[in-house]
Structure 1
């Protein structure tokens, strides 16, 4: 019986607010593949940069302009994409994002060859791809926060982290081989075509016919808040602690990602660089997935969510620092030691997916997309700054010790703040329009 004219809806099994176990398994595979393809598209230009520079007569400055253009677009749409996902559903935004940037990728080689200014075409393409991909990961955060079954949030979050590692590995190995054999254009065509096929497959299989009660797939329930103030959330100490830890993690990850190939090339010879390009990313996939499973298992066994999140972040930042410590204290180490230490550090960093990254969904599931977008925007800007500062310190000191010391310092600050101020209790419950249903507990670290 309806009360006060409010419409009562019978739960519809075809369109549940939370995925069934079977649907969660299918979406897990889809999100892994989507994250992998997203990073393949992102890495296509860096992989093809030498061939493109030779074809169009670019110097190093031109190449840097083309590669850096991506991040200007990527940082611009993080919050907007997260907010759109919270309001309209993460599935919609993800599908439109992938389908759109796939078309841009396919068109880039054609326009570059036909246009009179290929550098401007490639830069415009990279900015547009960055804009379209900027909404992807905040949408994943929103989607997992709203739709993940009980006890699977950490694992589903770790899926896109492992998919990212697989994408970097695939682009580095297969992309390089494809570009060498068939030309750089083939990498763009392959990444764009496969991504378009992924979007079509998801639309036809996972989303087909999911209409119930006038609401199409991905639409949030009436009780969900779409107007939660992001500024109000940023005043919460636990939110600021998670953001700072994420910024530090992003900064150190991009230092290693950007500078370690140069480190191996200068310190151990160019022939050894491929081993660094393969080992960390290959090992990072199972590491992230195991971390997600372990986190969900610990929470299911009764351990506090805050305890689990902080423990995983200790692995990500503390254990990785322990492996990098020998490199920061010695100017010369053997190739085997350097490879083992840096690879182990990169593998440990994958545990942040079930630490700080998943913590965003604990703190504000009603607007996890927008909050993750804000956090990732700051993380991207921090990454650009730390990479530049690392280059400056390397130029000034002439020693790689300063680069590794920067990583250790960032880890120490981020981890200390997160351990002291971090929490897992929802902070969006006292904001207007959010249903007062506490989904998560909070536990002290000790």
Structure 2
């Protein structure tokens, strides 16, 4: 087994990589206010920009997972971070809507291999009873980023501007690529085990996974919870400015509270999930989704910004729990030989939601003359769908794959 010191180093590097990737994804939601003004875009065009990343990201999930299983997690990680760094920097050089959409799409292609390969690396280096905890540490960087992005974005956009900001983010990503090359080293016995498992892997495992009831439910659950997550993340800044009347600085301070909630939820969720009896996770997850739906209704009916942000904070707590529970099911139920492919299939659902939802909200807002009510109702329905998909999870096929591996 990999030493604890080496595991922690790998986890720290994954944390850094996920942090810079999330920073760009959250930063664009604030930068788009300036981008829309500079390029003179409509709400539908803005939604297209916010969605284009997720189109590439979703398309790369399954190939990225397959590549991680085929060629190893380390190689895919390095290529992924390098590609997204290049296209992040290129975002600062766009000159039109078409160029922005194309570059954000290619950025998504680049980043698409990160989560499947990082999940595989965690399954290779951490024992089963610590995998949810390890995943929570990596994913918690998203919470930390969401905490600092609102204020930092306001500062960056009002001082150096959105173009220079993207150049800087791309440079940081290249530095992280170099760190991966230098310090992510799998011990010889882990490499040998990986090669052996690849040689023993049954033909048609991809087809088997697609037919697995567990994977179908996870795909739907991923789609639903990420539709809520990215629907809120991509459009709340615009909503709070245009509907609730906040300026950029006030918006930044208001959104630090939900960001802090995400960090707390990720750390607590990893601890709780590792201690849930097998089979109980679907019930706890379903309850969390019901709570999310109720709170979303209360959010858009909140009489003022303070109450709105209070409900949003609680929503983030439960969304974060479900977003960690879903990959934990894969890490605990399926063997490491198919972790990359399995995570790619399930996460395709989440990233398709990231592509479709911002675009759909942009269209809805434009259709209803600036009203977000219908958009909130759409997110509430997704909470109900997630509840049903979790309650009907079927673990039997997952156990069969585990036995065959």
Correspondence for 1:145 among 110, 123, 127 = 123
Task: Say which is worse superposed, 25-34 or 391-400, in terms of deviation.
Answer: 391-400
Is residue 130 from structure 1 mapped to residue 130 from structure 2 by the alignment? no
What is the match of residue 41 of structure 1? 24
| Correspondence list, 1:166-315, <5 A | 166-207=144-185, 212=188, 220-224=194-198, 225=201, 227-271=203-247, 272-296=250-274, 298-299=275-276, 304-307=277-280, 309-314=281-286
1:291 CA drift (Å): 0.7
Per-residue CA deviation, residues 259-298 of structure 1 (Å, 9 max, x unaligned), is 33344335532245334432212220121111102222x1
Q: Give 3-state SS (helix, strand or coil) of 1:19's partner.
A: coil
Partner residue in 1 for 2:41:
59
Distance (Å, rounded) in 2 between the aligned partners of 1:46 and 1:338: 19
Q: Distance in 2 between the 1:352 and 1:162 partners?
A: 13
Deviations 1:335-359 (A, max 9, x none): 3222111121012110023321211
Contact kept in structure 2, 1:87 and 1:220, CA below 8 Å? no
**Separation in 2 of the partners of 1:37 and 1:127?**
17
Q: 1:203 to 1:412 in 2, by over 3 A?
A: same
User: Secondary structure of 2:64's partner?
Assistant: helix
Match of 1:104 among 69, 73, 87: 87
Deviation at 1:93, TM superposition (A): 0.8
Q: 1:266 to 1:40 in 2, by over 3 A?
A: closer
Equivalent residue for 2:384, pick from 408, 412, 422:
412
Is 2:317 aligned against 1:347? Answer: yes
Residues 258 and 124 of structure 1, relative CA distance in 2, 3 Å threshold: closer
Question: Secondary structure at 2:382's aligned position in 1?
Answer: helix
Q: Give the aligned partner of residue 361 of structure 1.
A: 331
Task: Verify the 8 A CA contact 2:11 2:134 in the aligned structure 1.
Answer: yes
Q: In 1, Cα distance between the equivalents of 2:54 and 2:296?
A: 27
Return the offset for 1:53. Answer: 5.1
Q: 3-state SS of the aligned residue for 2:399? A: coil
Instruction: State whether residues 82 and 369 of structure 1, in contact with CA within 8 Å, keep that contact through their aligned partners in structure 2.
Output: yes
In the alignment, structure 1 segments of 5+ residues that lack a partner are 1-17, 436-446
Give the TM-score of the pair, scaled to structure 2: 0.85
Counterpart position of 2:401: 428
Structure 2 SS opposite 1:100: helix
Q: Which moved more, 1:241-250 or 1:139-148?
A: 139-148
Within 5 Å, give how 1:326-345 maps onto structure 2. Answer: 326-327=298-299, 331=301, 333-345=303-315
Task: Kindly report which structure 2 residues correspond to 1:363-442, keeping only aligned pairs within 5 A, or say none.
Answer: 363-365=333-335, 366-390=337-361, 395-396=367-368, 400-423=372-395, 425-429=398-402, 434-435=404-405
**Counterparts of 1:360 and 1:295 in 2: how far apart (Å)?**
12
The worse-fitting range, judged by mean Cα deviation, of 377-386 and 134-143 is 377-386
Q: Provide the secondary structure at the position in 1 that maps to 2:194.
A: coil
Cα 1:248/1:123, change in 2 over 3 Å: closer
Q: State whether residues 90 and 218 of structure 1, in contact with CA within 8 Å, keep that contact through their aligned partners in structure 2.
A: no
Which of these two proteins has the greater Rg computed from alpha carbons?
1
Equivalent pairs counted in the alignment come to 397
> What TM-score results when the alignment is normalised by the length of structure 1?
0.78
Q: Distance in 1 between matches of 2:135 and 2:342?
A: 15
Q: Which runs of 5+ in 2 are unaligned?
A: none
Q: Is the 8 A contact 1:364 1:427 kept in 2?
A: no
Q: 1:428 to 1:256 in 2, by over 3 A?
A: same
- Aligned counterparts of 1:408 and 1:127: Cα–Cα separation in 2: 28
- Match of 1:10? none
- Hey, what's the Cα distance between the residues in 1 that align with 2:386 and 2:78? 34
